Chains A and B, each alone.
Chain A
Amino acid sequence: MVDLKSVPADRAGAGAGFADTEARAQWRTVARRFVRHKAAVAGMALFAVLLLFAFAGPLLWTASLDAGGDAKIAPGGVHPFGTDRIGRDMLAQVISGTRFSLQIALVVAVVATVAGVVLGALAGYLRGLVDAGISRLIDLLLCVPNLVITAVLARSTFTLAPSVQNQSNWLTVALIIALFTSWFPIARTIRGLTLSLREKEFVEAARALGAPTSRIVFRHILPNTVDVIIVNATVTVAQAVLLESALSFVNLGVHRPEASLGLLINENKNELATLPWLFWFPFVFIVLISLSVNFMGDGLRDAFDPRQRKVRA
């Protein structure tokens, strides 16, 4: 693929322009395709706004997270998102809920991607016993619904009676989601790709030169799967947000004082008729997070592999 660096205005310039035509780096091609994908760019902008909202929000909106104000105030004025049954400011709640949901999702995405990529690549490259072990482990864990696996494991991080144990369990919940559900799809995909890449000539050449397994896997095979890794990591963020919120919804995920968006919805699910804003605000933010991430993932997929493109760029 070539790049016409500039479109020359006159004939004389045209010749000069073509003379220094140069190859365009792959990442630039990808970036260009991504930027042309309107939904993807919108998704990325939205995600950036959500990150700002969650992490810089507390600096701008300093209302207390605790109860104490007037209860059940409709949105507007001093409380843009209203207040809940015991007088907590809902905007502050939603900001902190979004932050916990995003923190969990980002930790899950990083941990699951690393675990999935390493294990998938090892299974695909080494084959034999390693492959059988990893693949069967995934088969096994798929026999139990992932919501149940994570709920059972997360149960040990809190007690029903209030205790210090219930504090700061969001990281544990994130790690459980990452290590017991989210890496399977990534590992499977990378395994499949590695199986086909390991037979390629450049891998054979590296092996003939005496490169150790780690070098072949990390320097020769994995760089060729970067596109799939990035797309999968994006999708994992969306799935982690949904899984975590489902966990919190049945009260088996994070616990107060760390309220995620799912927990906010769980606390307010019966108020839909009387205090509707308590449900709709957290709901809209969950949907916004997963929509923006899904759009980004879709755009990245199209940018890396234009053959699958659904939207004409």
Chain B
Amino acid sequence: MLQYVIRRVFIAIPLLIVASILTFALTTAMGDPLADWKLLKARTPAEISSEYHRIGWDRSPPERYLDWAGGFVTGDWKTTIIPGNGTQDVRSEIGRALGVTLQLVIFSEVIALLLGMAVGALGAVRQYSFFDYAATGAAFFMFSMPLFCVAVILKFAGIQLNNWLENIGLGRWIVTSGPPRDGFSGGLGHILYTYSGAFILPVLSLVAIQFALYSRFQRASLLDTLNADYVRTARAKGLTPARVVVRHALRTGLIPVVTVFALDLGILFGGAIITETVFGWRGMGALIVDAITKKEPWMVQSWMMVTAIVIVLFTLLADIVYAYLDPRIRLG
């Protein structure tokens, strides 16, 4: 097992190095960072060349890459450079945003996974029942729904709910400006109240999209195992139906779901872009939209690199869990 883990880690390192080159190429393809600054008003050639020199764009792309890569490894991630944006430190900004987004993403992912597994498993056990058809229909509908519409509609519903709560004298519960600032202060009731008010809508909209996927996946994989010979054997031995499903079929049926879990992290980060924009969270999603809009090269570059690292790490984790669950993989 240890050997397997070491092997996987060593595969991940060159992958990340190539990923850094690729993300650098993407960032370069974003175009001239000063294009909008030059359009803003007429600039003298001297002004323009000194500005290019200031942001380091008078050097060739390979030089810029090595400069950035050296800084990234040693902890100097540079700052925002477009004139008029101020100079924000990229590293502390991404660190702060990652904290915000991970809260949202992990929370949503766990809920979506649990809900999806439960609904999918039930759909498989009661195949072709009313519940199965209803769940299939709902999943189908969710697949066809753009996430940002779900979010916008939920936000609207939240505002209506707030107005209603205020009318009956309970104050505004739903907050659409990111996680609570004051952290865990006040009594338990107060903490629950503020956190649920801030998290419920963004989490709901991410869950709505992800859960459909998980439930379909869990249903298909459990259907496969339910028809396997060893499950028939377990039934033939006279075990109770519940024990057969939970102990014999579900365990094997969980394996494929573990892999999607990690693969979907990328989708969730993408989803966070939408939810954060709609609900006013200042996390990774809002950060990248802002950085791309302003063409901040170092911010975009480091953002993509950090996301790539997070995704590779989770894929690695999923591989390890997978190998732990299925001996054929670590020994094969």
Residues of A at the B interface (CB closer than 8 Å) are 136, 139-149, 151-153, 155-156, 159-161, 163, 238, 242, 245-246, 249-252, 262, 265, 269, 272-273, 279, 283, 286-287, 290-291, 294-295, 298, 310
* Among listed B110-118, B146-154, B184-192, B240-248, interface-contacting one: B146-154
Residues of B at the A interface (CB closer than 8 Å) are 15, 18-19, 22-23, 26-27, 29-31, 35-36, 39-40, 136, 140-141, 143-149, 152-153, 156, 159, 263, 266-267, 269-270, 273-274, 277-278, 288-289, 292-293, 295, 300, 303-304, 307-308, 311-312
Beta-carbon nearest neighbor of A251 in chain B: B293
Contact of B307 among A144, A246, A290 (CB under 8 A): A144
Determine how close the nearest CB of chain A comes to the CB of B156; give it in whole angstroms: 4
Q: A298 — which chain B residues lie within 8 A by C-beta?
A: 140
Complex: A152 Cα to B36 Cα, angstroms: 15
Q: Is the CB of B144 within 8 A of A143?
A: no
Q: A245 — which chain B residues lie within 8 A by C-beta?
A: 146, 148
Beta-carbon nearest neighbor of A235 in chain B: B143
Beta-carbon nearest neighbor of B272 in chain A: A145
Count A/B pairs, Cβ under 8 Å.
135
Q: Is the CB of A238 within 8 A of B144?
A: yes
Complex: A231 Cα to B159 Cα, angstroms: 41
Q: Is the CB of A287 within 8 A of B144?
A: yes
Q: B311 — which chain A residues lie within 8 A by C-beta?
A: 142-143
Q: Is the CB of B140 within 8 A of A152?
A: no
Complex: A249 Cα to B152 Cα, angstroms: 11
Complex: A238 Cα to B293 Cα, angstroms: 26
Q: A161 — which chain B residues lie within 8 A by C-beta?
A: 36, 39-40
Q: A265 — which chain B residues lie within 8 A by C-beta?
A: 146, 148-149, 152
Task: Decide if the interface of chain A is mainly helix, strand, loop or mixed.
Answer: helix
Determine how close the nearest CB of chain A comes to the CB of B27; give it in whole angstroms: 7
Q: Is the CB of B39 within 8 A of A163?
A: yes
Complex: A163 Cα to B35 Cα, angstroms: 11
Contact of A287 among B145, B270, B288, B304 (CB under 8 A): B145
Most buried by B among A136, A249, A251, A272: A249
Contact of B18 among A140, A159, A295 (CB under 8 A): A140
Complex: A153 Cα to B156 Cα, angstroms: 32
20 more A-B residue pairs beyond the given contacts A148-B273, A153-B29, A273-B159, with a C-beta to C-beta distance below 8 A: A143-B15, A143-B308, A144-B308, A145-B307, A147-B270, A148-B270, A148-B307, A151-B288, A152-B292, A152-B304, A155-B30, A156-B29, A159-B35, A159-B39, A265-B146, A265-B152, A269-B278, A287-B144, A291-B144, A294-B143
Say whether, besides A140-B22, A152-B300, A160-B36, A269 and B293 are in contact (CB < 8 Å).
no
Complex: A9 Cα to B231 Cα, angstroms: 49
Beta-carbon nearest neighbor of A153 in chain B: B29
